[in-house]
């Protein structure tokens, strides 16, 4: 059985990726931050490792047992320092793997925000990058990750997710929180369009990438729905949930890199990703499924349903 090690397994993306691999029949080990998170993942038949992504010594011994290592520990407020430690650990594990035979697959999580403002003409993963300043370090991180393919027996794939929604909320937590409060505050002009992807569809793509790693080695792939969603359509959809209750919507100047990313207009062309992975998003867009996503968010946040 293939052993998968997921870094950041207690995070919003990592948790669903861990569950997707478990459902697909892999033996999954997930790095979590504390015993409570370990207990939650253990219910999904996932082995857990309590440690800290910033302290590789807390989990490095598990690298040698893994056939697939997936880093989902996305934190846009961090520098690249911790990631250098992860890459070094992968490189060393790959070198040891080469001595005894076998292959090690490493899937690095980046973001479509490294592509910057695309406008409405659309861009693919092969387009020139114009990253936001706050994620510019991720361009170098992608390059360093892909450079590991020069290490014997190591296969590296970079995956760039769009803005993630579904289940506990992701970015749209702020939209639903604003709906409950009666005041939604969003960064930018409110006239832009967002590239989005449901967390379940994203998790399924990770599995497909791992299964096809021998032919995907060295590639950069993107995860987004076929169509972007306009912020105005999102606002209208959320307002419909409020019925006759008045919902105030305000724009504000981006205050951090997450705000800057949400203020972008991004249309992402994923045709090449879908072709090489045979992956297709199946969940409804945020606008199409807003009512069920709101109900899921309320349940996760102990709001009246």
Domain ranges of the chain: 3-166+196-224+269-283
Give the CA radius of gyration of the chain.
19
d(CA 147, CA 141): 10
Cα(50)–Cα(52) distance, integer angstroms: 7
The pLDDT tens digits of the residues spanning 255-287 come to 998 999 999 999 999 999 999 999 999 999 999
pLDDT over threshold 70, residue 189: yes
Question: What residues contact residue 177 under an 8 Å CB cut-off, 6+ apart?
Answer: none
- pLDDT classification of 71: cutoffs 50, 70, 90: very high
CATH code for the domain defined by 3-166+196-224+269-283: 3.40.50.720
pLDDT given at position 38: 92
User: What's the mean pLDDT in 91-102?
Assistant: 84
Query: For position 124, what pLDDT does the model report?
Result: 67
Alpha helices by DSSP H, the chain: 12-23, 35-42, 81-100, 136-147, 173-181, 199-211, 213-216, 231-241, 257-262, 271-277, 290-300
């Amino acid at each position: 059985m293939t052993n998968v090690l997921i870094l950041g397994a207690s995070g919003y993306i990592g948790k669903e990726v861990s569950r997707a691999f478990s459902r697909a029949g892999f033996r999954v080990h997930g790095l979590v931050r504390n015993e409570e998170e370990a207990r939650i993942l253990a219910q999904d038949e996932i082995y857990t490792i309590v440690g800290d992504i910033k302290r590789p010594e807390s989990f490095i011994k598990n690298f040698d047992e893994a056939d697939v290592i997936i880093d989902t520990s996305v934190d846009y407020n961090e520098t690249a320092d911790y990631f250098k430690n992860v890459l070094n650990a992968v490189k060393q594990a790959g070198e040891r793997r080469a001595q005894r035979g076998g292959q090690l697959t490493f899937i690095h999580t980046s973001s479509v925000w490294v592509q910057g403002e695309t406008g409405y003409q659309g861009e693919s993963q092969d387009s020139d990058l114009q990253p936001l300043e706050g994620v510019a370090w991720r361009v170098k991180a992608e390059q360093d990750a892909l450079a590991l393919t020069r290490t014997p027996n190591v296969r590296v794939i970079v995956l760039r997710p769009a803005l993630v929604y579904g289940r506990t909320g992701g970015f749209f937590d702020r939209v639903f929180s604003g709906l409950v409060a009666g005041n939604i505050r969003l960064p930018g002009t409110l006239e832009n369009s967002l590239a989005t992807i449901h967390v379940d569809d994203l998790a399924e793509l990770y599995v497909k990438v791992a299964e096809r790693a021998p032919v995907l080695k060295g590639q950069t792939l993107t995860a987004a729905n076929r169509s972007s969603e306009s912020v105005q359509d999102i606002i209208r959809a959320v307002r419909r949930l409020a019925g006759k209750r008045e919902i105030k919507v305000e724009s504000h100047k981006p205050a951090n890199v997450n705000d800057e990313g949400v203020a972008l207009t991004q249309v992402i062309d994923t045709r090449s990703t879908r072709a090489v992975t045979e992956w297709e998003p199946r969940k409804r867009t945020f606008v199409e499924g807003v009512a069920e996503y709101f109900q899921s968010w309320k349940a996760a946040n102990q709001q009246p349903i």
